[in-house]
Amino acid sequence: MDKQWLSQLPISNITNLVSVGGGDVNNAYRLEAGDDTYFLLTQPHQPATFYAGEIAGLKDFEKDNILAPRVLGNGQIDGDAYLLLNYLEQGQGSQADLGELVAKLHQVHSSNGQFGYDLDYISNDESFDNSWTNSWSNLFVNHRLDKLRQMLLDKHLWNQHDDDKYQRVRVVILKALANHQSEPSLLHGDLWGGNYMFLADGQPALIDPAAFYGDREFDLGITTVFGGFDNDFYAAYNAAYPLDPGANQRLNFYRLYYLMVHTNKFGTMYKSSAEVAMDRILGNKV
């Protein structure tokens, strides 16, 4: 990152730039300018609109008083997209407080009563249609699971046996969702353990959203895939916003989704876990 590039940012007097962890998608930096500290994300060879979905989610979080980074700038410099956020100092906090924050997020419902979002989900590895719909199963199964299934077949990561099992799983999911009253909650959309943090004062915050309005069990299912959330989180969440009967079965649907995403992105290392998730949905012993 050279000085000429940095000079085009909407801030001045930059004194320090340090590379930090920003996930597997972006280049990320801690940037100091005078008495202020910023978080800078860049994506080489992408337009400024690369960050449109994340920006929309962060602004929705801010509007509904969900603690998250604030958007300070966005654009393109020398062919690279950038997103400038305020820097959140990391500390330690309570999983119970995190559970209450996620419950607060999920109690925000879409103003039109529909599922979806004004922007589609777009990343380097996959994209999903977030067109507004009255049906959660349409958005989740037709626009997400089925799309992932086709990606896995096209990449030869799934074979005919995998697809046959998926088709049986699909029937089970559609039947279960038809008997479940879903509400369009504001979702984080990618709520794994790396996408929350505790601030220096102990407050929980949500980062790197892929927001849309969907069934809140989608977020909760994702939390169970890689860990990072303990019993205090789930107890506090359920106390603040109790889950409906049958939730434990339905969480398997969203575990499968997340494992299919990771199979598509990283290859066969996640394929066996996706197969286990399908077996659980089918009621097979695993």
pLDDT digits (tens, 9 = 90+) for 28-65: 999 999 889 999 999 999 999 999 999 999 999 999 99
Q: What sign results for the dihedral spanned by CA atoms 126, 30, 47, 213?
A: positive
Predicted confidence band at 23 (pLDDT cuts at 50, 70, 90)?
low
CA 190 – CA 183 distance, rounded (Å): 18
Q: What is the mean pLDDT of residues 219-225?
A: 98
CA diameter of the chain: 61
Whether 69 contacts 86, CB under 8 Å: yes
Predicted confidence band at 13 (pLDDT cuts at 50, 70, 90)?
confident
Q: What is the mean pLDDT of residues 176-201?
A: 97
Predicted confidence band at 285 (pLDDT cuts at 50, 70, 90)?
low
| Residue 153 scores a pLDDT above 90 | yes
Percent of all residues in the chain with a pLDDT value above 90, rounded to a whole number: 91
- Each residue of 154-168: pLDDT tens digit? 999 999 999 999 999
**In sequence order, what are the residues at sequence separation of 6 or more whose Cβ sits closer than 8 angstroms to the Cβ of residue 181?**
244
- Each residue of 61-98: pLDDT tens digit? 999 999 999 999 999 999 999 999 999 999 999 999 99
Whether 99 contacts 237, CB under 8 Å: yes
Percent of all residues in the chain with a pLDDT value above 70, rounded to a whole number: 97
Q: How many CB atoms lie within 10 A of CB 94?
A: 15
Q: How many CB atoms lie within 10 A of CB 239?
A: 12
CA 101 – CA 107 distance, rounded (Å): 10
What local confidence, expressed as pLDDT, does residue 2 receive?
Answer: 81
Catalytic residue selected from 60, 162, 190, 208: 190
Residue 99 — left, alpha, or beta (φ > 0 → left; ψ -120 to 50 → alpha)?
alpha
Identify which has the larger pLDDT, 20 or 24. 20
Q: What is the mean pLDDT of residues 124-149?
A: 96
CA 22 – CA 130 distance, rounded (Å): 25
| Residue 24 scores a pLDDT above 80 | no
CA distance readout (Å), 103 to 5, 114, 200, 239, 267:
41, 19, 22, 9, 33
Q: What is the mean pLDDT of residues 185-194?
A: 97
| Residue 1 scores a pLDDT above 90 | no
Whether 109 contacts 213, CB under 8 Å: yes
Identify which has the larger pLDDT, 126 or 258. 258
What local confidence, expressed as pLDDT, does residue 22 receive?
Answer: 60
Helix H or strand E encompassing 17: strand 14-20
Q: Which domains does the chain have, with CATH numbers?
A: 3-86 (3.30.200.20), 95-282 (3.90.1200.10)
Helix H or strand E encompassing 173: helix 160-178
What local confidence, expressed as pLDDT, does residue 90 receive?
Answer: 94
| Residue 145 scores a pLDDT above 70 | yes
- Residue 190 annotated among the catalytic residues of the structure: yes
| Residue 112 scores a pLDDT above 70 | yes
| Residue 130 scores a pLDDT above 90 | yes
Q: Which of helix, strand or coil describes residue 251? A: helix
What local confidence, expressed as pLDDT, does residue 167 receive?
Answer: 98
Whether 90 contacts 198, CB under 8 Å: yes
Name the average pLDDT for the chain: 95
Residue 53 CB-density burial (10 A; 0-12 exposed, 13-18 middle, 19+ buried): buried
